Every structure is written in C-alpha cells, then in structure tokens.
Structure 1
C-alpha cells in the first residue's frame, strides 16, 4: 500500500520518490540535523528512505514527502515504529527555508487527522531536549509531555523527551469546540 495522498490548503503529503534522497542527504549534512540520527553514507540514506516507503506495506503507515502546491519538496512527516521504538511515533523533518511558515504544523496536523481516522488511539513524538522548535510544535499540536513513557532502546531521558498525542487533543472536532 503506497502512502495515501493528503491535501491541505498549502501542501500535498505524498509518497516518497527517488529524487527525495538528495534533499534529505543535504539536510543530514547540515547543522540542522544535530540532534537527529544521521546516516553515515548515501547507502544508509537510501536504506532510511526505503524504510519510510516500505513501512506502508509492512505496517500500514510510514513517511510522506511534503510538497508545496507548486511542487517544491520542503520536508517529511512520518508515522513510524522501527524496532527500537516502543510506540508509533509521529515525527517531522523540514529543510532550510521551510521553517517559520507553519508548514510542519500543517503537515503534521493532516497526518494526525489521518491517523485518528484510521483508528490510532495514541502517537508519540520522541524529541531531543535541545530541539526547542520541535518541542514547541509538539505542544502546538496538543502533545503532552509524558515522562512515564518508555523510551526508544538505548536512549535516556537526558537525550529524549516523549510527547504524547491523542485524538481529543490533536485535531478531532472536540479539540476545537
């Protein structure tokens, strides 16, 4: 099952394509990836992107490439659960020039709505404490810090905060009533 296409007023969330690799590689070579596990080689980059695509068939969720309506690729939103994650995570990666415009919030909101429509009852975001913008976005999306949540294998609370998302806080109509 390929990633479903989701549309917002300014964005298209779509299945990844091969040409997405180069912008991701550039991101992972920059300071913007300081707190993110970066691939060591382009082959590892390929494995990572392929897992985002393959997760759709194996697990029914995965990564979306995020494009502006003019087709400009600006980042990714993903719902994933690799083997070292105790829970399904919603995460986001946006490239230089795409921050501060609300794209991440818009794309993540669309992904959350999709998840709640699929019957997911919770998602988490695993965020390094030094990523202030991601923490702010998790809170903006209604995520609540969950200090009791299990952490990814090998990680500590000094390097990973968990923000819990649920339908009543992240986009169901009741959240906005």
Structure 2
C-alpha cells in the first residue's frame, strides 16, 4: 500500500487532494463541461466520491490527484481508478474551463499514464469516453491510445480507448 504520490511535470504538480479542492470540483460538476460524465447529484455525493479517490491510494495503490499549476492554481483532476462497475482500470481527467487549451490535460494525463506503467507496473489502462466527447477523444488519440471496439464498457454511450506501455511518452524522468 502507498500514499498518494506527488508528480511534477514542467508546468504542473499532480498532488493529493485537499479539502479546499471540493468547491472548485463542485463548480465543475455544475457546469456544462461535465455533461459527458457521471456527475454527483449533491455535495455529499461529491464528498463521498472524492474521498473514494483519496482512500483508493491506501487500499489499491491508485486513485485521483489534483492538477495544480506551478503558481498554485487548481486546474482539474486526473485519476487511475476502477470502481466496481468498471471492467478495467481507467485513466481519466478533467480540466476546468479557464485552463482549457493550454495542454494541461495532456501533460497531466500523460504523467499519470507513465506513473501507472512505470511505477505501478500495470499492463494496460483504458479511458471510457462518451462517444460525443470530441475533446477527450482527441486527447486520448494524441496520447497514443487506440480505440478498442472489443473492450467491455459499463456505459453503452462510451468508447473505450486503450493505453499501452508502448503508447507512453518519454517516461517520468522527463517530468521531474
């Protein structure tokens, strides 16, 4: 078992969540940007979900991390997770609207992917992406993930993009 790591990239710090992250995450889930996700219906559901992401590090060696800019602004979240309804281990991400277009999602998700392959030694990861979420599809493809039409999904609206170790970038040392 491990505590949540802190991963630094050129412009970001992927860090364990803090209580102060809750309000920004709630605002995100109340926005149109969350329309392709299973958004929490209440602050209590958000709290429970966030605590599951935090506690998963202690039990499973994976979970969620906050995406923070080097100047201390919370920009989103990235995670490795497999709740009971997910057939496989997922790599997921969200970036708040004001940080869109800066490639923060690419940088954070690539670092988390590399962490999963290099540190956790997972064989594969998937990203479950709503078929209408063009931004996330483009990001998965930019990261080298490939559509896997034979993979099982928990949601019929989702496409499954598979990340493999050979799709990984230069490795974690490039982010340090």
Q: What range is the shorter-chain TM-score in?
A: over 0.9
What secondary structure is seen at the aligned counterpart in 2 of 1:101? Answer: coil
TM-score by length of 2: 0.94
Q: Distance in 2 between matches of 1:163 and 1:140?
A: 11
* C-alpha displacement of 1:2: 2.3
What secondary structure is seen at the aligned counterpart in 1 of 2:151? Answer: coil
Q: Deviations over 1:5-45 (max 9, x none)?
A: 00001000000111111001001111111111111110001
Match of 1:124 in 2: 126
Q: Distance in 1 between matches of 2:170 and 2:18?
A: 30
What secondary structure is seen at the aligned counterpart in 2 of 1:107? Answer: helix
Superposition CA RMSD, Å: 1.0
TM-score by length of 1: 0.93
Match of 2:20 in 1: 19
Q: Distance in 1 between matches of 2:170 and 2:43?
A: 39
Match of 1:65 in 2: 66
Match of 1:55 in 2: 56
* C-alpha displacement of 1:96: 1.2
Match of 2:144 in 1: 142
**What is the aligned length?**
169
What secondary structure is seen at the aligned counterpart in 2 of 1:127? Answer: strand
| Alignment of structure 1 residues 149-164 onto 2, 5 Å | 149-152=151-154, 155-156=155-156, 159-164=157-162
Match of 1:82 in 2: 83
Runs of 4+ in 1 over 3 A off after TM superposition: none
Q: Distance in 2 between matches of 1:149 and 1:99?
A: 29
* C-alpha displacement of 1:88: 0.2
Where does structure 1 lack aligned partners over 5 or more consecutive residues? none
